[in-house]
Structure 1
Amino acid sequence: MTEGTFCLVLHSHLPWLAHHGAWPVGEEWLYQAWAHSYLPVVDLLERFAGEGREDVLTLGVTPVLAAQLDDPYCLRGVHDWLGDWQLRAHSAAPRLPELSAREHRASRWALEKFETRWRHGFSPILKSLVDSRTVELLGGPAAHPFQPLLDPGLRAFSLRTGLADTRLRLGSAPEGIWAPECAYAPGMEEGYAAAGVRRFLVDGPSLHGDTAAARPVGSSDVLCFGRDLEVSYRVWSPKVGYPGDPAYRDFHTYDHPSGLKPSRVTGVRVEPGDKAPYSPQDAAVVVRRDAADFVDVVVRRLRSLRERHGKPSLVVAAYDTELYGHWWHEGPAWLEAVLRALPEAGVRVTTLRGAVEAGHVGAPVEIPPSSWGAGKDWHVWNGPQVADVVDLNAGVQRELLALDLAGRTRDPVADQAVREALLALSSDWAFMVTKDSAADYARYRAKVHADRFAELAALLRPGGGRGRGRARAAELRALDGPFGHLDARGLG
């Protein structure tokens, strides 16, 4: 390998959706991502594992998503959804025979993969991929909070809870995390070091674009990796990217009687009814073209970095896993083509761990307050559009910290109160409001968890009603039950 090193990082995350609505957001969101992204991407990784390939990519799986991918209720739900997908494919046969046949094959494949590999949840599969070193796993805080806006004690508790959850599922805690929203505030590296975290992700502008090596943060030995936007945006940016090619399947256009997607993108200003039928053969040609283009982009970027720094350098490209298959139907095929072609072009493909082992570590750096959101600052999560959510979150934190849970005996009411507080503080709700993506649902979710927390907090106080509190906590845990190991006393 002569050109340099490339790391692909995939961030797998959805908020807690079980028991919170079905369609168009809610459980449907989980099942679509499961069927169209998680199944094919994991299948790709298992095939690489079967070939004996190590350090293929770095895979982030948030604890709150892992909880859903192991949850018996969600496992039954996605199995039903996959069966319904096949029935919907059959229903389209009289009107759209080619689409019906194509979707039948896809749903049959997904059902077979689920029934033979996934019926006992994701953790056994993920453990095999981690143990074989096919992937490096990144963990994270429990319910994906925007960490800079958390009280430091709550921030540390959330991270410990998330890492402990991964350890229980896989037998070991990850050394790296995907910091939710790539959000950073000065000093957070000290909390990472205390929790045993050795590396994390930031966005490229946080390092002023100098992403050619991992960098120790401040005086710590915790390393940060910066996303190379010059390369990452070739796939997907706020305005352009491969998935918008006219030949690819259009995400937004439905055949409403069946719920299937029959059209190609065709053009950005083409109305849904005027879009051309999707052709897998035409799309496959474009996948090969775009994969070759991406490899060329990576090679040219590595050569320019080597000229600048006088040594082989590093490129980190990072994306949401859900882009591959769910949002971009052809994404998994493109991913496989790229991961196979890069080594042939002289590029070392490895993980963040592998990049450190290869010596891609630079000088210490001070990082400003930042994120990977619009503007690369925090306004998506604390701007005027979400002032109500910010105020709600601040109130939850104040009341939670005032409970003084340390020193008590283990209490399922306190545990569920903390669980509801963590779910209320998820970064997803503010993001969805700012982006006007199911904003009403997001506000409802933040409010319902905050209300449930307040209800349980009241029952914890003297005279609140202990027996009634236990019954209510059990009722709520049946609905919101991730992180069963969570011990509220650790917050003290």
Structure 2
Amino acid sequence: ELEQFRTRWNRSIISGFRHFNDSGSIEVITSGATHGYQPLLGTDESCKAQVRLGVETHKRHFGKQPRGIWLPECAYRPRYDWKSPVAENESAWQRMGTEEILKDEGIEYFFVDSHMIRGGNPLGTYATKFPQLAEMFARSSKFFTPPAEYRSEYEHYMLPNGVVCFARDPQTTVKVWSGDVGYPGDPAYLEFHKQLYPGRHKYWRISENKADLGQKQPYDPFKAYESIQNHAADMVDVLKSTLAHYKGLADRNGCIVAMYDTELFGHWWWEGPEFLYQLGKKLHEDGEVEMVSGGDVLDVDPAKHVITLPEGSWGEGGYHYIWLNEENSWTWGRLYDCQRKMRYMAKEWRDGAAKEIITQAARELLLAEASDWQFLISTQAARDYSEIRFNDHVDRFLQLYPLAEKVHTGGTLNEQELEFLKDCQIKDAPFPEIDLGMWAIDPATGALVQ
């Protein structure tokens, strides 16, 4: 594999993906530029910039418009009178629906969790833990009526503006995600948590006693391989039986959307990549289930039903709680201030002498908008690191803002300020080409504010 990476792909993973994308073997879709959590971003301009920069980056690397998008955390918000969940005495104002932003950028389809297709109330006990969530959901639910008709995650649906949504399948989700009842918890597989120091090498299997690290048995790759074969065969059976059941209900072929974070395969579940390989082989050999992309489905089977969706995500509780709670709500107050300042700079100063400074401020804002910061604060997995990184990007943005104003009004940067700008450009340098006009779009018309 390393030799192929060096010679065939010229040391570029993207070259490999582009080859298979061009050949039709896979369909690469895009995502938000830095995985910004769409429903909670404070301005429509920031929402649009995340999507547009994701689309433009995809076109730069793959040479074509992406048809689909992975919405960060599968989070969706309909059009309604939105109000900041962390500000007091603030009036609500009309916000664009996520599907409107996608349509503007040429996106044809996206993915949601299954509860959003069915239209259930996702909040549960989280509404009492953080009441602001209950207020947000009440505002959005005024414009959504739970469906009387039957909806299925094995069907794809069109929203009123023509964008299509697919829903995650719960059956295959449990099989692959669950460490308790799913494949990754098999006793023969490599134990993730027990490591030998120094070096952090792993020599043990999960074993029958999963909880006690002291009872772990030596890892046997041959036994693990047997389990991989069994699990791949079982997944084929699950796919076939699930689709057969849906065909019996709907009298038409369905589509299973089996979607996962790629970090699962090879990281948390060491044998995961080999499982995917064996599953692909077995599906090919079996021949009853066709492997397709979202674009393939739309081409041969256009959506037949128009629906509306409630607000929500694929996070715990089905709503925003993981990204907005008592532990991380302070981050949104800081972000909203920066997003308003970014909109102002882009509309008023973007083509003047301050352009270089504003461009770097945009990079800092994009990096601060990553949904990972709130997620890691909530889960306590890397809270200190997340808070430091988030605050660093916000602080840099807030230091760049007055520098941009100074230059725009005719001033010049002193040696210390120039050094700070250069340090920012070296430290945080994603997206070499940023169109500041992305933050100067009138959400109502889609036109550039001159």
Q: TM-score, normalised by structure 1?
A: 0.74
CA distance in 1, matches of 2:395, 2:154: 46
Separation of aligned partners in 2, 1:300 and 1:118: 39
Residue matched to 1:139? 30
What whole-Å deviation, never above 9, does each CA across 1:200-238 have from its counterpart, x for those lacking one? 111111101621122111x11111111111222211137
Cα shift at 1:400: 2.2
Shift of 1:124: 1.6
2:402 to 458, 468, 475: 458
Q: CA deviation at 1:136?
A: 0.4
Give the corresponding residue for 2:74.
182
Partner of 1:481: 429
Aligned mate of 2:16, from 110, 122, 125: 125
Cα deviation, residue 471, structure 1: 4.1
Displacement of 1:377 after TM fit? 0.5
Q: Which residue among 386, 409, 415 is the counterpart of 2:352?
A: 409
1:159 corresponds to 2:51: yes
Kindly state the Cα deviation for residue 239 of structure 1 after the two structures are TM-superposed.
5.0
Quote the offset at 1:114 in angstroms. Answer: 4.5
Q: What 5-or-longer segments of structure 1 have no aligned partner?
A: 1-108
TM superposition shift of 1:470:
4.8
Asked if the contact 1:295/1:345 (under 8 Å) is kept, the reply is no
Q: Does 1:277 align with 2:218?
A: yes
Is 1:313 equivalent to 2:205 in the alignment?
A: no
Partner secondary structure for residue 318 of structure 1: coil
* C-alpha contact (below 8 Å) 2:209/2:216 kept by paired residues: no
**Contact kept in structure 2, 1:216 and 1:364, CA below 8 Å:** yes
| 261-270 vs 226-235, which moves further | 261-270
Distance in structure 2 (CA, Å) of the matches to 1:222 and 1:489:
25
1:432 aligns with 2:389: no
Q: Is the 8 A contact 1:204 1:226 kept in 2?
A: yes
Partner residue of 1:224? 165
- Displacement of 1:268 in angstroms is 5.4
Match of 1:206 among 108, 116, 121: 116
Unaligned 5+ residue runs, structure 2? 79-96, 119-150, 441-450
Is the CA contact 1:143–1:422 (under 8 Å) kept in the aligned structure 2? yes
Structure 2 residue corresponding to 1:357, chosen from 289, 295, 299: 299
Letter in 2 for 1:328: W
Tell me which amino acid in the other structure corresponds to 1:129: F
| 8 Å CA contact retained: 1:213, 1:360 | no
Match of 2:265 among 317, 324, 335: 324
Distance 2:217 2:180 in 1: 22
1:331-410 equivalent positions in 2, closer than 5 A: 331-343=272-284, 344-359=286-301, 361-406=303-348, 407-409=350-352
Bigger Cα Rg = 2
Identity %, equivalent residues: 32
Q: Which has the higher strand share?
A: 1
**Residue 38 of structure 2 contacts residue 76 of structure 2 at CA under 8 Å; is this kept in 1?**
yes
Structure 1 residue 301, shift from structure 2 partner: 0.5
Q: Deviation of residue 244 (structure 1)?
A: 0.9
Q: Is the 8 A contact 1:207 1:367 kept in 2?
A: yes
Farther off after superposition, 468-477 or 246-255? 468-477
CA offset digits 1:154-180 (Å, max 9, x no partner): 111221111111111221231111000
What TM-score, normalized to structure 2? 0.81
